[in-house]
Amino acid sequence: MQQVKVVTDSSVGLPDALIEEYGIRFAPLQIIFGDKTYRDRIELSPADFYSMLEGSDKLPTTSAPTSQDFLAIYKEAANEAKNIVCLCLTQRFSTMGIKSALQAKEEAREFLPDVRIEVFDSRSAVGGMGLIVLAAAQAAQEGKTLPEVIATAESVRDRINVIEVMDTLKYLAKGGRIGKAAHWAGSLLNIKPILEVSNLTGAVEPVERIRTKQKALERLLEIVSERVKGQGPLHAIVDHSNTPVEAERLKEQVIANFDCYEIYISDITPACGVHLGPRVVGVSFYAEDKHT
């Protein structure tokens, strides 16, 4: 029996196969299209979501998991371990998500008095959050203690990079998650912005503006190289929103240019796709420290 069980929310940028392999449970966000509500990753696939998004005149909205959603996940996880760590989407994207997780932690004292629960702000999103969750789940599977699993998650969070080539900024602007890139939103014609999610603040930060998608992807690889220079093998997730061919091509380029410890492709889930929009492609990554 593992000492620790890792749980998260449905925005996590991990392939379903890894979620199943490591027994990671997630609380679903809600995607609201008009008068219809869907549970993210359960009732709405990424492919269907992006088709609906591009065909909709009105931007859909999201709703964070409730405390009851998290409490149900905690109860399930408690059947397998007496320590639980809940890794949440950056508060800069969803304040209510982590509040619900914390509220559920308090409510769990009545139902799970012998279970220790810790809630952790990933300060990340998409594949960056995915790599943090994956590292924590791997540590838990190895039999690490709760403090050791949390230390693993903190170590990856401090090194994580999430860099995305955007097709448009209109979705981030409408959703209010655009951060310091707001001054780019009104003037970008035929320009592909490169943005990142800061591992210090969890907010969206502008990186560069590039004229074409191809040049932006070439620059993306240069940025990865600059940030991991002199470090060890790369842990990476190629993120994409309904651009599987581009994602596969980018994965091949990352493998060709870097020593990869592990690399995966992950759909940007509907919960994040509402804000990022379609045709996004990028890389979430961190490198091993050669000195550890």
Of 157, 178, 193, which closes a domain? Answer: 157
Per residue, the 3-state secondary structure of 233-269, as one string, reads CEEEEEEECCCHHHHHHHHHHHHHHCCEEEEEEEECC
pLDDT of residue 251: 98
Q: Is residue 292 part of a domain?
A: no
Task: Tell me the per-residue pLDDT of 111-158, one tens digit each, with 9 for 90 and over.
Answer: 999 999 999 999 999 999 999 999 999 999 999 999 999 999 999 999
The CATH number for 49's domain is 3.40.50.10170
DSSP H or E run through 51: helix 46-54
Residue 282 belongs to domain spanning? 159-287
pLDDT of residue 94: 84
Residues 167 and 38 in one domain: no
Residues of the chain with pLDDT under 70: 1, 174-190, 290-292
Task: Tell me the per-residue pLDDT of 19-46, one tens digit each, with 9 for 90 and over.
Answer: 999 999 999 999 999 899 999 999 999 9
Residues 151 and 27 in one domain: yes
Token pair 């609380």 is found at: 27
Calculate helix-pair angle for 213-228, 244-257, nearest 10 degrees.
40
pLDDT of residue 211: 85
Residues 138 and 226 in one domain: no
Residues 118 and 171 in one domain: no
Count of structural domains within the chain: 2
Of 128, 157, 186, which closes a domain? Answer: 157
Residues 188 and 78 in one domain: no
What tokens does 139 get?
């540590």
Residues 216 and 166 in one domain: yes
Residues with Cβ < 8 Å from 79, sequence gap 6 or more?
none
Residues 149 and 208 in one domain: no
DSSP 19-50: HHHTT-EEEPPEEEETTEEEEBTTTB-HHHHH
Residues 168 and 40 in one domain: no
| Torsion angle (degrees, nearest 10) of CA 32, 87, 225, 236 | -80
Phi, psi of 135 (to 5 degrees): -60, -40
Q: Is residue 10 part of a domain?
A: yes
Q: 173, 226, 234: which is closest to 204 by C-alpha?
A: 173
pTM for this entry = 0.94
pLDDT of residue 186: 47
pLDDT of residue 178: 47
Residues 219 and 137 in one domain: no
Residues 52 and 116 in one domain: yes
Integer Rg of the chain from CA? 18
